[in-house]
Structure 1
């Protein structure tokens, strides 16, 4: 899942972190793509692959809540974002 593709677009996951509640992604995406559409698409693809690998998950009505948080990094370096994600672990 290092590369996520949608139609003609390609989203590259550059880092991720799993905590007990949140899954953090740092994604490079085209500026014309809506963050809401990207979040919805990532959740949908992840759900599809997880249900395929773990059939018992098909019994659940949903794997994710409908909520998400998106922020742009602007002029912030990738290292600053990675440090932020690392600091979120255990919170």
Structure 2
């Protein structure tokens, strides 16, 4: 995830998740289309997970896909960064 963010001149500040989804706190420049960043994060991570865990990954697939086509994004400009980071840190880790 960090490498993909770097390719987009973005910074991955926090990463965690729960069963079925992940939480990322990313600082990205205004010139980056969020849909492109998310698409790349999903594509690269799915490809790497398939390569690293080829037999284990099948129980997590949705048809032939690892990630849902949807995503949720929210702006946290003006919110204290530490509170956002604390929220993400307190989420369960993916199984």
Q: TM-score range by the shorter chain?
A: 0.7 to 0.9
The aligned residue for residue 84 of structure 2 is 81
Deviation per residue, 1:24-77 (Å, 9 max, x gap): 00011111212111111100110111111122347x511011110011111112
- 1:82 CA displacement: 1.5
Higher strand share: 1
Distance in 1 separating the partners of 2:37 and 2:2: 15
The aligned residue for residue 42 of structure 1 is 41
Structure 1 runs (4+) deviating above 3 angstroms are 86-89
* TM-score normalised by L of structure 1: 0.76
Gaps of 5+ in 2: none
Distance 1:2 1:33, change over 3 A: closer
The aligned residue for residue 2 of structure 1 is 2
The size of the alignment, in residue pairs, is 86
Gaps of 5+ in 1: none
Aligned-residue CA RMSD in angstroms? 2.1
Distance 1:85 1:12, change over 3 A: same
| Aligned 1:31-70 pairs, distance under 5 A | 31-56=30-55, 57=57, 60=61, 61-70=64-73
* TM-score normalised by L of structure 2: 0.74
